[in-house]
Structure 1
Amino acid sequence: MSFEWSSFLAAITGAVIGGLITGYFALRTTQKSHENQIAQADANELRAIQGLLQALHDEIETIHENYQEKMGSTLEALKEGEPLNFYYPLVSDFFTVYNGNSFLIGRIPDNDLRKQVVKTYTLAKGMIDSFRLNNDLVNKFEHSNKIFQETQLEIHKNHAVAHYQALIEYAKTLKQSHTVLKQEVSSLLRALRKQGVLSESGN
């Protein structure tokens, strides 16, 4: 029986072509799967960022409204030469969302928005530190004044007067910081609302 070269070559050619076609479609399937994974990852990232922006909006809005009601309006009502002569109770952590999602803050794609978020929260944290310092000044004044009332010694009177004057001077700093913070909070909330954080769909 003679060997059919033409049949053999046709079979080999068919096998090679079939393998190439199979390999091509396998490669396309792999590429498509990879593209889908990338698209899904991008979609997940966008949802995570949008959820963060919504949470930041709600956090800063709620905290600022509470602060404005309890202390901001009091600062604004202070007359020239008046001290903020009472304690402002402060909790250890006002900014749960911001502090707990620092790894996502840097991934906010809008540069201006990202900077505004960081700037506003930095100012807010600084304001808290300023109130802590004012609380310390109040404590020093009350302590010196109490000792003076008990002893009637001039040295303790002078201490009390000095601490009271420090409160008056520091009230000016508090009022200035409050004004700046109020403006930055307003700017941040506007920027976040432009990102659609108030819409139900987040878009």
Structure 2
Amino acid sequence: MKKGYQVALLLAFGALFAAFAFNPPKTSGDWASWVQAWGSIAAICAAIWIAYDQHAKVREQQASARHDEVRNFLFGIREELHINWVVYMQTVGDAVQAVKDNAAVDVTWPVPENPFKVYASTVGLIGRVPDDLIRKQIVATYVVAGGLMLTWKMHNTMRAARDAEAELVEEMDGTRPNGTWVVLQRDLTRYSQQLRKHQNEAEAMIGIAVDLIDTYLKKNPASSV
């Protein structure tokens, strides 16, 4: 109950007690008046308590709703990161890891246009996450993952440019390496190192984000209200 109401009720009861003490009832009419006065005070107290109790329950329900909203947001982010990475590794990530350091990643991956639908549609809720570390990690993880998408687009472009050139050039006395192809192959090999680096960074960031979210969800179970 709010302190203002408590003070007001105490003053009302004090005044009523003082009046009762100095003017005790003497007749049945006096008693009826006093009973009515006490009843009125009791009714006021009950009304105030009911209103406060209802307000407290509404606030509790709102807090529980916000709590569950944050949980649902984090769970959605967790699943999007985890599932996307599993699919990515199965599709092309394992192939990238298998390539030796001095070789080019000789595969093209069609980069999805909108791979982070959950994050894009719910990012406005990130400010409600009470854990600063989780908020920063989520943002940083999506930035790194987005950077990996851009790296793949550049890699695809470089590979397409190399493939547009013939590896060998026909001459009257036979064939010789195509100088342009050689340069493009060299550049693709170097850039493949960058691609692997970005992939490793994304994998590490996603792993950290998923672990942090799992820990938070375990410590903050769904509301029972």
Shared fold (TM-score, shorter chain, > 0.5): yes
1:3 is aligned to none
1:30 is aligned to 51
Aligned residue runs from structure 1 range 1-203, under 5 A: 21-145=42-166, 157-196=178-217, 202=222
- Write the letter of the residue equivalent to 2:190: E
**Range with greater deviation from structure 2 (132-141 or 184-193):** 184-193
> For 1:48-82, what per-residue CA distance to the aligned partner results, in whole angstroms no more than 9, with x for missing partners?
11112222222111111111122221221111221
**What's the CA shift for 1:171?**
0.7
Aligned counterparts of 2:139 and 2:171: Cα–Cα separation in 1? 50
Unaligned runs of 5+ in 1: 1-5
**What's the CA shift for 1:143?**
2.1
Pair 1:13–1:109, CA change in 2 (3 A): same
**What's the CA shift for 1:18?**
5.6
- Write the letter of the residue equivalent to 1:116: Q
Instruction: Please identify the structure whose Cα radius of gyration is greater.
Output: 2
Pair 1:99–1:150, CA change in 2 (3 A): farther
**What's the CA shift for 1:13?**
7.8
- Write the letter of the residue equivalent to 2:165: S
Aligned counterparts of 2:170 and 2:89: Cα–Cα separation in 1? 37
Query: What is the RMSD of the two structures over their aligned residues, measured on CA atoms?
Result: 3.3
% identical aligned pairs: 18
TM-score by length of 1: 0.79
Q: Which runs of 4+ in 1 moved over 6 A?
A: 6-17
Aligned counterparts of 1:202 and 1:149: Cα–Cα separation in 2? 67
- Write the letter of the residue equivalent to 1:72: G
> For 1:17-65, what per-residue CA distance to the aligned partner results, in whole angstroms no more than 9, with x for missing partners?
6655544433332222222111101101111111122222221111111
TM-score by length of 2: 0.72
Unaligned runs of 5+ in 2: 1-25, 173-177
> For 1:159-190, what per-residue CA distance to the aligned partner results, in whole angstroms no more than 9, with x for missing partners?
33332222111111111111111111111222
Q: Secondary structure at the match of 1:80?
A: coil
**What's the CA shift for 1:98?**
1.1
**What's the CA shift for 1:125?**
1.2
Pair 1:108–1:169, CA change in 2 (3 A): same
Aligned counterparts of 1:73 and 1:151: Cα–Cα separation in 2? 40
Q: Secondary structure at the match of 1:145?
A: coil
